[in-house]
């Protein structure tokens, strides 16, 4: 693989690699735009995943998750107290359910990874608050991205914002470097202290994907070895973007083409 690694073994990509990441990120984001209108009470998460599988194929791309460590689906769909890695299945959504749909595609060998929140039917006030804080926490993290900042700065921006709203940041899962691989160094923690961790450099590509709980941060993985839930059964939300560090800040590779990243937009 071309290019160089940073002192912390994080790949530094070339200027022309940004365009490739935009193509991969845009496809993942477009598929999340398209699945939105299908989310409704009575619809199964398996039906949503079938649609996503078809859209990936129709785009001439590949799913990064089918066959990944034995995972068999094109998306993870995490409903209510499921924190992440929910397996799509035949359970129907109910009115008021909130869900994260996470899609990763491979386009010309490059990975685009993004997730966002959806609502089946009516949104409760509690869920609305959780979703807003989680979305805004991701954007606070992204605002901290620039050369010379550290990964601890990103984690601190997210954690301090979430805790100011009396919610908690999940510690058991993190963001990750990506590019021509799905999961690469570094671990992008969504908590931390300013000035700690590796220093960001232009050309680094990674995800930021905070999971926020209304209750305590602890999680457990169910017997299926994938589904992570909150230990206290409290509601959980997550948003994820793939970004690249530029000279002045960052570019978001997974912006919603339709402007529908947040469930109350468009």
Residues in the site for ligand MF3, rule: CB under 6 A?
A: 65, 68-69, 71, 76, 85, 102, 104, 113, 207, 209, 226, 240
Q: How far is the CB of 230 from ligand MF3 (least distance, A)?
A: 18
Q: 140: part of which helix (H) or strand (E)?
A: helix 125-143
Q: Which residue's CB is nearer to ligand MF3, number 147 or number 174?
A: 174
Q: Look at residue 49 and give the partner it binds from ligand MF3, Co ion, none, a contact being a CB closer than 5 to 8 Å depending on partner kind.
A: none
CA–CA dist 246, 203 (Å, integer): 6
Binds Co ion by CB under 5 A, chosen from 17, 26, 97, 102 = 102
Q: Which residues have a Cβ under 8 Å from the Cβ of 160 and sit 6 or more positions away?
A: none
Hey, which residues does 234 pair with through a beta bridge? none
- Least distance (Å) from Co ion to the CB of residue 106? 13
CA 57 to chain centre: 21
Shortest distance in whole angstroms from residue 83 CB to ligand MF3: 12
Q: Which C-beta is closer to Co ion: that of 161 or that of 205? A: 205
For Co ion, the closer CB: 40 or 255: 255
49 versus 240: smaller Cβ distance to Co ion:
240
Nearest CA-CA partner of 241 in 156, 153, 134 = 134
Which one of Co ion, ligand MF3, none is in contact with 76 (Cβ closer than 5 to 8 A by kind)? ligand MF3
Coil vs helix vs strand at 17: helix
Residue (of 258, 209, 180) closest to 24 by Cα position:
180
The binder of 265, among Co ion, ligand MF3, none, by C-beta within 5 to 8 A per type, is none
Give Cα 198 to chain centroid, integer Å.
21
Residue 197: strand pairing partners: none
Task: Tell me the window of 45-53, 147-155, 233-241, 255-263 that interacts with Co ion (CB under 5 A).
Answer: 233-241
Tally of CB atoms within 10 A around 266: 11
Q: Spell out, one character per residue from 108 to 127, where the chain touches Co ion: x when CB under 5 A holds, - when not.
A: -----x-x------------
Per the CB < 8 A criterion, the answer to whether 11 and 179 are in contact is yes
Q: Binders of Co ion: how many residues, by CB under 5 A? A: 5
Distance of closest approach, residue 102 Cβ to ligand MF3, in angstroms: 4
Interface with Co ion (CB under 5 A), residue from 207, 213, 236, 254:
207
Length of the chain: 266
- Residue 230 found at the interface with Co ion (CB under 5 A): no
Q: Does 78 bind Co ion (CB under 5 A)?
A: no
Comparing C-alpha atoms, which of 207, 184, 178, 200 is closest to residue 245?
A: 200
* Contact assessment for residue 117 and residue 141, using Cβ atoms and an 8 Å cutoff: no
CB of 262 to ligand MF3, least distance (A): 18
Binding site for Co ion (CB under 5 A): 102, 113, 115, 207, 240
């Amino acid at each position: 693989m071309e290019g160089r690694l940073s002192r912390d073994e994080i790949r530094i990509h070339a200027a022309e690699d940004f365009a490739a990441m935009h193509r991969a990120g845009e496809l993942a984001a477009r598929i999340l735009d398209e699945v939105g209108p299908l989310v409704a009470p009575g619809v199964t998460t398996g039906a949503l995943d079938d649609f996503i599988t078809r859209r990936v194929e129709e785009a001439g791309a590949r799913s990064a998750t089918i066959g990944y460590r034995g995972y068999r689906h094109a998306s993870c769909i995490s409903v209510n107290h499921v924190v992440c890695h929910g397996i799509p299945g035949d359970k129907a959504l109910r009115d008021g359910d909130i869900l994260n749909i996470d899609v990763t595609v491979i386009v010309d060998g490059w990975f685009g990874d993004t997730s966002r929140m959806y609502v089946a039917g009516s949104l409760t006030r509690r869920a609305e608050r959780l979703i807003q804080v989680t979305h805004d926490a991701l954007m606070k993290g992204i605002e901290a991205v620039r050369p010379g900042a550290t990964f601890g700065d990103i984690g601190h921006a997210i954690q301090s914002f979430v805790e100011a709203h009396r919610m908690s940041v999940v510690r058991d899962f993190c963001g990750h470097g990506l590019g021509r691989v799905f999961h690469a160094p570094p671990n992008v923690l969504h908590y931390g202290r300013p000035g700690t961790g590796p220093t960001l450099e232009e050309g680094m590509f990674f995800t930021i994907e905070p999971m926020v709980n209304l209750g305590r941060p602890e999680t457990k993985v169910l017997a299926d070895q994938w589904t992570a839930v909150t230990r206290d059964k409290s509601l959980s939300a997550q948003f994820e973007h793939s970004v690249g560090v530029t000279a002045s800040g960052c570019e978001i590779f997974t912006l919603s083409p339709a402007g529908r990243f947040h469930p109350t937009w468009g």
